[in-house]
Chains A and B, each alone.
Chain A
């Protein structure tokens, strides 16, 4: 069975500062990894995904994440955040194939302070 741990439930950060949201996963097989963002009263939007290949993945809105197999981590980073990045961020894992359910972490609420 797969599981995801998001180590921080809330992360406050000042505008234009860098941020890292941490994600660790557990799986006995290889995985696909995802980061989704949820703005207030909206559904989930995909930020980026790791399927295979380069371990550094770039996504939308200036976010990137690095897959580290030895540490079973997939941390999300942004060098300079904006007020508009305030949202809930979810890390998810799935089996390495199409059409399998995602297993989500509990989420990290990013609050960007002016």
Chain B
């Protein structure tokens, strides 16, 4: 079946612009995660959504970052007033929400370059 998809695959923007990154999780998966992969920091958790519960935003690096998940499916990560240090690969993952497993399925990522 279809896996996690992300768009765009690459995004180049100018410093100070806003960007939106999209994630389509696997159908039926109740949990959705955003991670950031950068050279200096490795893979970092940003935010996650579980069903209709309030999202866990504890990994967001600043208030310029926000995310929403509409209808319990598609998610959009928004970065306002982008900075050069925001350049990274943004990975989305989803999981079925089973209590005794935490296997997460990852999308191919969006490579963001801030000039």
Contacts and interface: CB of A to CB of B under 8 A. Distances in A.
A46 B103 contact: yes
A44 B59 CA distance: 19
Interface in A61-114: 90, 92, 94-95, 97-107
B65 interface: no
Given A43-B106, A45-B106, A98 B100 contact: yes
A100 B43 contact: no
Size category of the binding interface on chain A = 20 to 34
Contacts, number: 67
B8 to A, nearest CB: 14
Contacts of A44: 91, 93, 106
Interface in B17-68: 30-31, 33, 35, 42-45, 48, 50, 56, 59
Contacts of A51: 100-101
B95 interface: yes
B42 A99 contact: no
A98 B107 contact: no
A101 B91 contact: no
Nearest to A43: B106
A43 B102 contact: no
A105 B91 CA distance: 16
